[in-house]
């Protein structure tokens, strides 16, 4: 709907802080600042979401309660019950890619952003992850190190809750862990197979409350559905764990449907004065004033906002005198394989839903100095007797004709129909395992996102154009993942599914963006010529402008990004409070 | 608008009214667990008619050949597979032509052999065709398109059946209920020679 009378309304109130985005980074900033007494306004482009509100709740629904039996749709790309409103493509909000390059961009448009459905694998970085250049000469060091971050990781562990075990691993540091759930059957089998191969397996580290930690949140009751959002608030999502209490302080105003357009600046001082936005429902234009602006719209969106906030003072976009905004974008590498384990055929049934995700994982265990690729990866495991969903039983014709897959060892014709086919489905249920490697790429200046010179979205906001290519480093790492997966599968007595990915398809290396850990678009550093933010995530060029998502990351680590987003946002927020107290802001 | 349960404030409560006025339409009611956009998309899909009565009758017969009732559970059609397929081909439009064309292929083949549509054949006549397209790798060359169609039917039937109430009970899936996970049952650990102490 185009409103004929587009007019700009500006809010009289001046907030202490205006935050753009309510995901991991924005939620933590809002929570920390509001608790400290600041008047906070959060602009969120998406709609409200509360997993305990029956209107939004999908937890505990059966597949037959979905018309499409839990399959994905254009409005929910990870399945009909998944708590991500949005996806790889959002109607009216395009993004583009430079010719010959690839990048897929997953966006959630809702309060809490992508933390409503994320995997909740909650890994802090280790000392090496901040100092890669010092170790191998590639990429850059962060301007801070693990010792700077440790107190904030510790606080995040205690505030949000994460299960795991202290293993004394140097680059996968100990934390404050709740008890982990015991491994499931296939996870014990993986552990045993790995042991024989010298691959370590540890309890996973994930943010579900296996023990209650306060009165506002319940305890996990093991439904295995965290990606739908937990009605007991026993899993971490920014909406229920950070935004809700931030609002309860009385100091936070959350504006859903508010798509930030630009950071506004004072032409004389060059300081940020607030944010202009368009209401996504009415298409009316607004602005909201703040003494401090914090961008946490996700690494991609934050770069887009910075680049789109142009003025005579900031012709290349605000905070971009270095020209570095958008550059060095990097996503985790990813490759995967699945297998069927004949010893699990006809297995005894019991409830093994567990938490929503794996109970064990493998952190990076090798020395890159002895390998032909410079950075590591960790392995995530899947499998078990999960709730049947759309896709169940698909492709049985590729399985039930295999000699060693029949109950009595007699070869049966593949495919078929009737009562014996039904037996096959029962037999194979719960016999699958899957392996996913998630690794660290080497960030590169020539991987970047920029403003597309000719395309705008339905709000008239210029869109992002990505330019991203993997290098040989990442391809070789994916090859190593594939070899490792096959070793584990064979060691388990399993049969790998499908053809082993090879050189012809980069060893199954997922296209850039597919792992949804994009970071690095406004990196921090001590030199304002080669970085956008200083070591406190404060813009070198604009002292009351901060970034609190994954844009400040100098590198990815072989860990998933979110625990570091949370710790960094907490650190930045405490810095803001401190500087306000000192009268520096 | 407004996030009442989270207590979130909005600046302009009149915006919703303006929005409705401008859209000039009665909003589709939003069922629990669906967004407004989903409610509208699903209302539209449900109203669409694609497969006709004859096609649906053929699907019912075929799905019951693939998943008949047995000692343990009911049949595909008893579990609601026909309605599921009716919806899913509209929801995934790439399935429309393979389904419609496959069904017609089957009727043409039935007519070639028995001068009748598939629905009018005797059970033995039906299997006369099915047996030649149900086993990938054994299909006579000239019937390969029939094999593709039957494979699609098998997949859709299995997915529809095992995601239904009857099918989930047949699989004996025990989850989707609050519980305390205490690990793999002892007798199962024993069966696999595994333990938590290792
Ligand atoms: C399937 C999946 C699994 C994942 N699993 C894991 C995992 O196991 N572990 C892990 O560490 N990470 C995981 N991630 C990644 C994790 O979700 C992100 O790292 C994290 O959510 C990023 O937080 P953020 O605050 O930067 O951005 P987001 O969570 O994306 O939040 C950004 C918010 O800003 C809003 N916004 C954007 N633009 C604007 C604008 N212009 N104006 C106003 N609001 C705006 C968005 O609507 C959104 O709500 C996963 C992601 C996906 C999709
Ligand atoms: S597994 Fe636990 S934390 Fe996750 S949604 Fe279920 S009850 Fe909540």
Contact indicator for A369, A350 with CB cutoff of 8 Å: no
Tokens of A272: 């940020």
The answer to whether the CB atoms of A350 and B154 lie below 8 A apart is no
- Ligand 1 closest atom vs CA A296: 25
Q: From the alpha carbon of A234, which atom of ligand 2 is closest? A: 3
Residue to mutate among B175, B186, B189, B193, with most A CBs inside 10 A, is: B175
Mean of the pLDDT values across residues A366-383? Answer: 98
Model pLDDT, residue B37: 95
Q: Is B143's Cβ below 8 Å from some Cβ in A?
A: no
Contact list in A for residue B30 (CB cut-off 8 A) is 55
- What Cα–Cα distance (Å) separates residue A87 from each residue in A78, A94, A109, A327, B1? 8, 11, 9, 23, 22
Would you say residue A98 has pLDDT above 70? Answer: yes
Write out the two tokens for B149. 């169609």
> How far is residue A492's CA from residue A156's CA, in Å, rounded to a whole number?
37
SS (H, E, C) B61-89: HHHHHHCCCCCCCCCCHHHCHHHHHHHHH
Predicted confidence at residue B26, as pLDDT, reads: 63
Divide the 198 residues of chain B into consecutive groups of 10 and give the mean pLDDT of each group.
Answer: 37 45 66 96 97 98 98 98 98 98 98 98 98 98 98 98 98 98 98 92
Percent of chain A at pLDDT > 90 equals: 96
Domain with A318 in it? 1-49+105-145+238-331+518-585
B159 contacts A391? CB cut-off 8 A: yes
> What pLDDT score does A403 carry?
82
pLDDT score for A404: 81
What pLDDT score was predicted for residue A393? 96
B63 vs A contacts (CB less than 8 Å): none
Instruction: Give the model's pLDDT for residue B11.
Output: 42
Which tokens is B144 given? Answer: 């390969």
Please give the backbone phi and psi of residue A163, each rounded to the nearest 5 degrees, phi first. -95, 160
What's the CA gap between A194 and A178, in Å, rounded?
Answer: 25
Choose the residue to mutate in A562, A569, A572 for probing ligand 1, maximizing ligand atoms within 8 Å of C-beta.
Answer: A562
Q: Which candidate, A183, A250, A115, places its Cα nearest to that of A562?
A: A115
A403: exposed, middle or buried (Cβ count in 10 Å: 0-12, 13-18, 19+): exposed
**Least Cα separation, residue B75 to chain A (angstroms):** 10
Atom of ligand 2 nearest to the CA of A231: 8
Pairing status of strand A462-467 against strand A40-43? unpaired
Q: How far is the CA of A218 from the centre of ligand 2 (A)?
A: 10
Q: Which of A157, A242, A297, A569 to mutate to test the pocket of ligand 1 (most atoms within 8 A of CB)?
A: A297
Nearest-by-Cβ selection for A414 from B30, B70, B137: B137
User: What is the 3 state secondary structure string of A342-402?
Assistant: HHHCCCCCCCCCCCCCCCEEECCCCCHHHCCCCCCEEEEEEECCCCCCCCCCCCHHHCCCC
**DSSP sequence for A242-290:** IIHHHHHTT-EEEETTEEEEEEEE-TTT--EEEEEEEETTT--EEEEEE
Residue A509 lies in a domain: no
Residues in A closer than 8 angstroms to B38, CB to CB, are: 73, 75-76
Q: What is the C-alpha separation between A384 and A225, in angstroms, rounded?
A: 14
* Cα–Cα distances in angstroms (integers) from residue A306 to residues A251, A262, A275, B131, in the given order: 26, 7, 11, 64
Provide the 10 A C-beta neighbour count for residue A4: 6
Where is pLDDT greater, at B16 or A515? A515
pLDDT higher than threshold 80 for residue A53: yes
Q: What angle do CA A341, A354, B174 make, to 5 degrees?
A: 75
Nearest CB partner across the interface for A192, out of B91, B163, B194: B194
Q: Is A235 a pocket residue for ligand 2 (Cβ < 6 Å)? A: yes
For residue A362 and ligand 2, the question of a CB distance below 6 A is answered with no
CA distances from B45 to A9, A74, B56, B164 (A): 39, 13, 17, 20
What mean pLDDT is reported for chain A?
Answer: 96
Q: Is the dihedral of CA A152, A158, A163, A168 positive or negative?
A: positive
Q: Which of A281, A351, A395 sits opposite B155 (nearest CB)?
A: A395
Q: How many CB atoms lie within 10 A of CB A26?
A: 34
- Residue from A75, A247, A415 whose CB has the most chain B CBs within 10 Å, to mutate: A415
Domain count, chain A: 1
Q: What is the CATH number of the domain that holds A263?
A: 3.50.50.60
According to DSSP, the β-strands at A360-362 and A202-203 are antiparallel
Residue A278 contacts B, CB cutoff 8 Å: no
pLDDT of residue B7: 37
Give a yes or no: residue A448 inside a domain: no
Residue A8 is predicted with a pLDDT of: 63
For residue A118, the CA-to-ligand 1 centroid distance in Å is 8
Residue A88 lies in a domain: no
For the purposes of burial, counting CB atoms within 10 Å of the CB of A268, is it exposed (0-12), middle (13-18) or buried (19 or more)? exposed
3-state secondary structure (DSSP) of residue A103: coil
Inform me whether the C-beta atom of residue B193 falls under 8 Å from chain A C-beta atoms. Answer: no
Tokens of A191: 């552990």
pLDDT over threshold 50, residue A304 = yes
Which of A67, A240, A251 to mutate to test binding with chain B, by most B CBs within 10 Å of its CB?
Answer: A67
Question: What ranges do the domains of chain B cover?
Answer: 17-45, 53-171
Q: Does B93 touch chain A (CB under 8 A)?
A: no
Whether residue A9 is predicted with pLDDT greater than 80 in this model: the reply is: no
Residue among A92, A231, A236 at smallest CA distance from A159:
A236
| Yes or no, beta carbons of B6 and A244 under 8 Å apart | yes
Q: With respect to residue A512, please indicate whether it lies within any of the assigned structural domains.
A: no
Quick one: B111 exposed, middle or buried, by C-beta within 10 A (0-12, 13-18, 19+)?
A: middle
Question: pTM to 2 decimals?
Answer: 0.95
- More confident site: A514 or B6: A514
Enter the ipTM: 0.94
Chain A residues within an 8 Å CB radius of B106: none
- CA separation for the pair B155, B162 (Å, rounded): 11
Question: What pLDDT shows up at residue A410?
Answer: 77
What pLDDT was estimated at residue A12?
A: 77
Q: Quote the ligand 1 centre to A20 CA distance (angstroms).
A: 12
């Amino acid at each position: 709907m185009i409103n004929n009378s587009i007019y700009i309304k500006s809010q009289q109130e001046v907030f202490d802080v205006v935050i753009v985005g309510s995901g991991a980074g924005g939620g933590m900033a809002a929570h920390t600042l509001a608790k400290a007494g600041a008047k906070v306004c959060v602009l969120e482009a998406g709609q409200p979401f509360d997993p305990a509100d029956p209107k939004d709740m999908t937890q505990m629904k059966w597949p037959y309660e979905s018309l499409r039996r839990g399959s994905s749709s254009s409005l929910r790309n990870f399945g009909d019950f998944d708590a991500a409103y949005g996806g790889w493509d959002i109607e009216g909000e395009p993004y583009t890619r430079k010719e010959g390059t690839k990048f897929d961009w997953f966006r959630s448009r809702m309060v809490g952003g992508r933390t409503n459905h994320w995997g909740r694998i909650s890994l802090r970085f280790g000392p090496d992850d901040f100092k890669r250049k010092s170790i191998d000469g590639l990429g850059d060091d962060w301007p801070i190190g693990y010792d700077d971050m440790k107190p904030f990781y510790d606080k995040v562990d205690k505030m949000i809750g994460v299960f795991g075990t202290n293993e004394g691993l140097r680059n996968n540091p100990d934390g404050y862990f709740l008890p982990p759930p015991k491994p499931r059957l296939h996870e014990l089998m993986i552990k045993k197979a790995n042991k024989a191969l010298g691959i370590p397996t540890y309890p996973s580290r994930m943010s579900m409350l296996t023990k209650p930690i306060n009165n506002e949140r319940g305890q996990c009751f093991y439904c295995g559905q965290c990606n739908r959002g937990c009605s007991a608030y026993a899993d971490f999502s920014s909406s229920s764990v950070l935004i809700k209490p931030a609002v309860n302080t009385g100091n936070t105003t959350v504006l859903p449907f508010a798509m930030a357009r630009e950071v506004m600046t004072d032409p004389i001082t060059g300081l940020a004065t607030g944010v202009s936005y368009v209401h996504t429902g009415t298409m009316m234009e607004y602005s909201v004033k703040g003494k401090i602006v914090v961008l946490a719209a996700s690494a991609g969106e934050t770069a887009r906002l910075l680049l789109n906030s142009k003025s005579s003072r900031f012709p290349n976009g605000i905070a971009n005198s270095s020209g570095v905004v958008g550059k060095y974008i990097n996503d985790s590498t990813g490759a995967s394989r699945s297998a069927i384990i004949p010893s699990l055929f006809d297995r005894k049934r019991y409830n093994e839903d567990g938490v929503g995700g794996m109970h064990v994982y493998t952190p990076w265990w090798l020395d890159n100095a002895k390998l032909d690729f410079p950075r590591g990866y960790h392995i995530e495991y899947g499998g078990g007797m999960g709730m049947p969903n759309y896709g169940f039983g698909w492709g049985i014709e590729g399985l039930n004709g295999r000699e060693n897959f029949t109950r009595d060892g007699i070869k049966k014709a593949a495919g078929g129909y009737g009562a014996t086919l039904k037996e096959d489905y029962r037999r194979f249920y719960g016999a699958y395992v899957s392996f996913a490697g998630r690794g660290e790429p080497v960030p590169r200046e020539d991987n970047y996102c920029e403003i597309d010179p000719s395309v705008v979205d339905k709000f008239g906001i210029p869109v992002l154009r990505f330019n991203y290519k993997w290098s040989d480093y990442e391809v070789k790492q994916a090859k190593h993942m594939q070899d490792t997966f096959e070793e584990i599968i064979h060691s388990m007595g399993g049969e790998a599914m499908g053809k082993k990915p090879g050189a012809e398809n980069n060893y199954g290396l997922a296209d850039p963006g597919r792992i949804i850990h994009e970071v690095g678009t406004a990196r921090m550093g001590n030199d304002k010529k080669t970085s956008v933010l200083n070591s406190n995530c404060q813009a070198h060029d604009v002292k009351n402008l901060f970034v609190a998502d994954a844009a400040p990351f100098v590198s990815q680590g072989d860990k998933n990004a979110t625990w570091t987003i949370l710790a960094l946002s907490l650190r930045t927020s405490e810095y803001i409070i401190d500087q306000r107290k000192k009268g520096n802001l | 608008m407004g996030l009442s349960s989270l207590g979130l404030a909005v600046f302009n409560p009149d915006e919703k009214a303006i929005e409705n006025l401008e859209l000039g339409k009665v909003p589709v009611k939003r069922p629990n667990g669906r967004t407004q956009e989903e409610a509208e998309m699903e209302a539209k899909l449900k109203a669409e008619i694609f497969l006709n009565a004859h096609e649906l009758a053929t699907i019912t017969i075929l799905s019951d050949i693939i998943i008949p009732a047995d000692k343990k559970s009911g049949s595909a059609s008893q579990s609601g597979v026909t309605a599921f397929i009716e919806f899913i081909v509209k929801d995934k439009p790439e399935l429309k032509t393979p389904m419609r064309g496959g069904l017609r292929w089957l009727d043409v083949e039935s007519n070639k052999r028995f001068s009748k549509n598939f629905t009018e054949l005797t059970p033995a006549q039906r299997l006369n065709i099915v047996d030649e397209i149900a086993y990938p790798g054994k299909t006579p060359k000239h019937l390969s398109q029939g094999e593709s169609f039957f494979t699609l039917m098998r997949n859709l039937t299995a997915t529809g059946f095992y995601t239904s109430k009857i099918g989930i009970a047949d699989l004996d899936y025990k989850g989707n209920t609050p519980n305390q996970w205490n690990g793999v049952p002892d007798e199962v650990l024993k069966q696999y020679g595994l333990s938590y102490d290792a």
